[in-house]
Amino acid sequence: MARGRIRVKAKLRLSQLYTFACIRPELGGVQGSASEHTRLVYCNQPRMHHKKPLKYRDNSISTTKYNFFSFLPKALFEQFNRVANIYFLIAALLSVTPLSPFSPVSMLLPLAIVVGVSMAKEALEDWRRFMQDKEVNARKVCIHKGDGVFDYRPWEKIRVGDVVKVEKNDFFPADLLFLSSSYEDGICYVETMNLDGETNLKVKRSLEATSSLDDDECFKNFNGIIRCEDPNPSLYTFVGNIEYDRQVFAIDPSQILLRDSKLRNTTFVYGVVIFTGHDSKVMQNSTTSPSKRSRIEKKMDKIIFFLFAILLTISVMSSIGFAVKIKFQVPDWWYLKPDDTDAYFNPSKPLLPGLAHLVTALILYGYLIPISLYLSIEVVKFLQAVFINQDMHMYDEESGIPAQARTSNLNEELGQVDTILSDKTGTLTCNQMDFLKCSIAGTAYGVRSSEVELACAKQMAMDLEDENEDILSCPKHINITSEFELETVITSNDEKDSKRVIKGFSFEDSRLMEGNWLQEPNVDVIALFFRILAVCHTAIPELNEETGDVTYEAESPDEGAFLVAAREFGFEFCRRTQSSVFIREIYHSSGQPTEREYKILNLLDFTSKRKRMSVIVQDEDGEIILFCKGADSIIFDRLSNNGRLYLEATTRHLNEYGEAGLRTLALAYRKLDESEYTSWNNEFLKAKTSIAADREVTLERISDMMEKDLILVGATAVEDRLQKGVPQCIDKLAQAGLKIWVLTGDKMETAINIGFACSLLRQGMKQIFIAALNSDAIAQDAKQAIKEDILSQITNASQMIKLEKDPHAAFALIIDGKSLTYALEDDLKLHFLGLAVDCASVICCRVSPKQKALVTRLVKEGTGKTTLAIGDGANDVGMIQEADIGVGISGVEGMQAVMASDFSIAQFRFLERLLVVHGHWCYKRIAQMICYFFYKNIAFGLTLFYFEAFAGFSGQSMYDDWYMLSFNVVLTALPVISLGVFEQDVSSEICLQFPALYQQGPKNLFFDWFRIFGWIGNGVYASIIIFILNIIIFYDQAFRPEGQTADMAVVGATMFTCIIWVVNVQIALTICHFTWIQHLFIWGSIATWYLFLLLYGMAPPTISGNSYQILVEALAPAPIFWTTTLLVTVSCNIVYFTHISYQRCITPMDHHVIQEIKYYKKDVEDQHMWTRERSKARQKTKIGFTARVEAKMRQLKGKLNKKASILAEKPVATALGRSP
């Protein structure tokens, strides 16, 4: 174990530090009576839990929708939840009766194919979930077998009561009671990022009574009884006790190790299993995988209901017509044998035949409802998902993880997203802090640019071309170049590449490196700055015995970055004992490296309320010093009068660092008199050992007494390393018109800093903080008072936004979890949502997994628009499942988010392509495909109605059964699939260059009711033209050279040929992007019809019936057949052709303009015009670095205009002065 320390070395009692100190439960103290604790766990005796009432769940988990037994009934239920499938099931059953105008096979076969393929797709997608679950369940952990022997077993074999041994960097397989660890005093470090999103390590402590169980042999005779609460979703509470060694000890949350958190900085821990599998708290926070349906699919159901109404209407008309005919005209038609009656044909009793004919008509006109629509959509969505999975632009080379569409039901929903709700840690950031800049004694150090500065500089360089005309219009004597140099960032890539990479340290400035700081003025202040970095922390150094390097296990990433920076500056934190820290100062005044000891007297921990951390030390000279670091606003308020020497310069530097998206802390110190310290320490120790209810308040008050009269030393600026491409991705999504909310479990300060780094926040943006009152300060009716205060804050903020006159003003809403608890209550949530929607960005911090889900639900239901949630941890599962679309980041920290998601990607930056490219394409493809589907079925189905009315409502079809069976399944299936899979209005590069095109989806331009009824009207028009022209042409015209007229088989085949040509030419006019596949499918479908007609006509008359040799002998030799086909095809499509020509010429849409520019290659010949068009194709946004650059440009223009006006006034003033 190179990096791990065995127990012999782990003698440090961390509980001596205030950070880790807490009052341990007293021996024999019982928290609550036994009757309150209903769960009974026999430690080290898992067999006791095999029978009821102690038979608990096993440790396997499942996130699938189906199992072996439930698949068939549940999948069938889902399939027949679709109204069209119910109709076709009823029609298929009726087709075996004498009332059916078709053979049973023509109804049953298509239904079986549609339902079968859809169920197979569901089974395949659920199988993938099953395999991911299997991977998690197969993880190995050490379990006590008996007699002090531990062996590795899969997680799914763990049972309640098992003693498990978890090793460093492994996940906890279940919820455990912490018994002991490799540290002598039972301390362990736990990373809970999968639970609450925080990367800082949590400290857990075992019971003192069990901390001596430090070896496998100790568990040979170990036993105990745990009485505790039942399974529940609360991550931060636990109630119970353990009976061990004839004593009862209370258990609190600090002794519980939760499933999916990770053991860090500890060689091993022992624990006993309390909750397993779906009883564990992390799984209790998850919900059943919901069945999600896209908005287009829901709207499609409404269209089908509309078509049902049409179907029912014409069926009733047909039924009434049949009853009237049979009553008044059939008795005169002797050739129909009116006297030969039965139940379905009785002129004297027309009511019953009329009702029977209603059933016949409902089956006959069923082609108005496209049975293959659902199947075609399933196939198209599956193929779209394949293209998403195989998109190399969304493949992460570092991890080898591609994008994955875990369900294809929501592809088109990707193109209609209005709001993105994102986790922060692991999603936007990569959990790494880099020390980048600092300000010491009023001097700024660090020349390297942050990611935000580089991104802004790049964007500004692009935008300068568009601004040149305005800027060049300024007077030429103004030094424009110098103004721009103030706003641009210059970095040397060569220098950057030559530096060795140090994790956590990206600082570049030769003035401080390699000991050069000794040549700087204020050397003592600089050395003090480095000492504060090296001493003021709670980290533990860890020596890698193989390399000799020292690494640091810190509570937070920025603390680790400070220690790495101190080491690189020559102040290496090398050792810690239970009372001291040791610093190796390489650049000592003596000229030799020297190790200095600082005795830790007290440590005052950082909290979100205090916003600072202090450590009181005694150096080797016996001097007592307080080192303090914290938020600048807090530190500045505590400075002494003589400690403000560098305040003005430091404040200026802090503002610059904030604008660059960096996280800042101020550093200060204070020297203490021994008598003053002794007096204060007595009070502090008294408060620390108190068990009174106001212990924390008292400790904070006493800490405040010491943290005053500070002397400012400087400030740090660290960069919270964003995942690659995050600022650019957020900027592109903002340009596409998407709103972005951040929901994180991190502290408010951390969330705000990330907001600046991502450009969700920027300097000049007005921040609205919603904070709840301290309930301790309210005597009575605390909840009502807090709610009234929050409502007042929300109302005032909303009023402020409404009264804002500046059109460029931007507002950001920032709220913490406590305030959110009240804001999400029924009487406040709509007020909160109204305020949030009015703000450019929203950041919710310190939120629980449940609150994330509730906020997501509020946005989804309150706005009625499509929401997308993205996260990477188990704490994000709730919001991922609650959102319309859930996206999981498949990183290194567990797979819970991915398993609960609809789509998974390896990096946040891939969300840009997933939405702006694939979302845009899928939305338009599915929308156009569905509209076309209804068009072609209406064009075909209504001809059946026209002919039946023409033929006296006889229920007769002019088409052969096999014609109709092949229409949707064969002859028109592939072209519509090619439309849904390959259609592109613009290329992927254009989608990214013109992000505003994405707004066609959220605005639903291609699937609104106007467009839907337009396609339905087009289908009605086509059906009328097809029927009327064929009837007029063939009614009394000679069809053969001998003068014979056409029979019903010839007219039916000709009319069907016209339909095949019309609908395929229509789809050819609809498609913008042709490939050889589309040409093959469209023209191949037409050729297939002729081939089918030829082969079907060659079959014996017992099979082909009236269609025997119809193509060879009847249709092909007749010129009227070919001319009719041509005339009908042109007549039906001329209206649509005229419409699209008018639209492109007079009222073009955005993609029409871009298509024309690309067609005439104007993007190559006229780059200025192309750049101008690209700048226009950005939604006006107030977030992202584009908005930040635009704000800078406005500021710069203001400076230039002001300077120009001043210079313009000077010659006038001079002239007036010279005039007599």
Residue numbers annotated as active site: 423
Beta sheet of 163-167, edge-to-edge order: 149-154, 140-146, 163-167, 268-275, 175-181, 256-257
136 near 239, Cβ under 8 Å?
no
Rounded to 5°, the CA angle 967-971-359 comes to: 5
Phi and psi of 1017, rounded to 5°? -60, -40
Query: Which tokens hold the place of 800?
Result: 């402020």
Strand partners, 665: 716
Long-range contact pairs involving 885-893 (C-beta distance under 8 Å, separation at least 24): 885/292, 885/410, 885/413, 885/414, 885/417, 887/911, 887/914, 889/426, 889/427, 890/399, 890/401, 890/404, 891/399, 891/426, 892/399, 893/193, 893/194, 893/262, 893/426
Tally of CB atoms within 10 A around 708: 13
What backbone torsions phi and psi does residue 400 show, to the nearest 5 degrees? 70, 25
- Residue of 39, 53, 59, 45 whose CA lies nearest to 241: 39
Q: How many CB atoms lie within 10 A of CB 1126?
A: 11
Token reading at 402: 């591609």
Which residues in 129-155 are b (16+ Cβ under 10 Å) and which e? Answer: bbebbeebbeeebbbbeeeeebeebbb
| SS3 at position 1068 | helix
CA angle, 303 then 304 then 306, to 5° = 65
Instruction: Return d(Cα 1151, Cα 547) in angstroms, integer.
Output: 59
In the numeric block, the tokens 């991502």 are attached to 758
End-to-end CA distance of the chain: 94
Measured between alpha carbons, how far is 641 from 142 in angstroms, rounded to an integer? 60
3-state secondary structure 146-203: ECCEEEEEEHHHCCCCCEEEEECCCECCCEEEEEEECCCCCEEEEECHHHHCCCCEEE
Contact 739, 998 (CB under 8 A): no
CB 293 within 8 A of CB 381: no
State how far the Cα of 269 lies from the Cα of 164, in Å rounded to an integer. 8
Whole-number Å distance between alpha carbons of 296 and 641: 66
* Stated length of the chain: 1220
Helical ranges in 571-694 per DSSP H: 632-637, 647-659, 674-688
Which amino acid is present at 905?
A: I
- SS3 of residue 252 by DSSP: coil
Q: Of 205, 220, 1189, 350, which is closest to residue 727 (Cα–Cα)?
A: 1189
Cα(52)–Cα(504) distance, rounded to whole angstroms?
A: 54
Beta strands in 797-884 (DSSP E): 811-816, 841-845, 866-871
**Count helices and strands in the chain by DSSP H and E runs:** 39, 33
Cis peptide leading into 98, omega within 30 of 0? Answer: no
261/170 Cα distance (integer angstroms): 9
How far is C-alpha 687 from the geometric centre of its chain's CA atoms? 46
Is residue 1094 within 8 Å of residue 1112, measured between CB atoms?
yes
